[in-house]
Amino acid sequence: MIKKLQKPLLELVLGFLIIVGLLWLGEFLSHLTGDFMPGSIVGMVLMTIALQMGFIRLEWVQRTANQFVKWMSLLFVPIGVGLVEKLDVLQSALAAIVVTCVVATLVLLAVIGWGVQWSQKRAEEKAR
């Protein structure tokens, strides 16, 4: 029974150490560069690079990543509570928030549309 639990537990611990290690490395690199980009994003980029280049095998982090995804909704509870506590602040800025979301969505749609058109045109030129 204990031997059956050892392997999954070791996989979880190894995956956790790898993920947290890359997060810390990302935070460190972010701090070195003047916090230009959030450390968590830098850590995810490092994880992607390490997985793509084969420095980290997917099996090493997959079990832990799956557990994080299963528990992700629980991690949003404190954020939700914080939003409810600051509801008066959100209500006072509601118009600005809505305008920002609408403008950002329209800009994003336009940029993606132009990017797809450019990419298709480029692919057609290469096909000729």
Q: pLDDT digit string (tens) for 52-74?
A: 999 999 999 999 999 999 988 88
> Is-above-0.95 flag for pTM?
no
As a whole number, the mean pLDDT across the chain is 91
User: Per-residue pLDDT averaged across 21-39, rounded?
Assistant: 93
Per-residue confidence (pLDDT) for residue 1, from 0 to 100: 62
pLDDT digits (tens, 9 = 90+) for 102-116: 999 999 999 999 999
Asked if the model's pLDDT at residue 82 lies above 70, the reply is yes
Angle at 28 between CA 27 and CA 33, to 5 degrees: 95
- The answer to whether residue 5 scores a pLDDT higher than 80 is no
CB burial string 21-55: b at 16+ within 10 A, e below: ebbeebbebbeeeeeeeebeebbeebbeebeeeee
**Residue 112, both tokens:** 């993606």
Question: Kind and range of the H or E element at 4?
Answer: helix 2-32
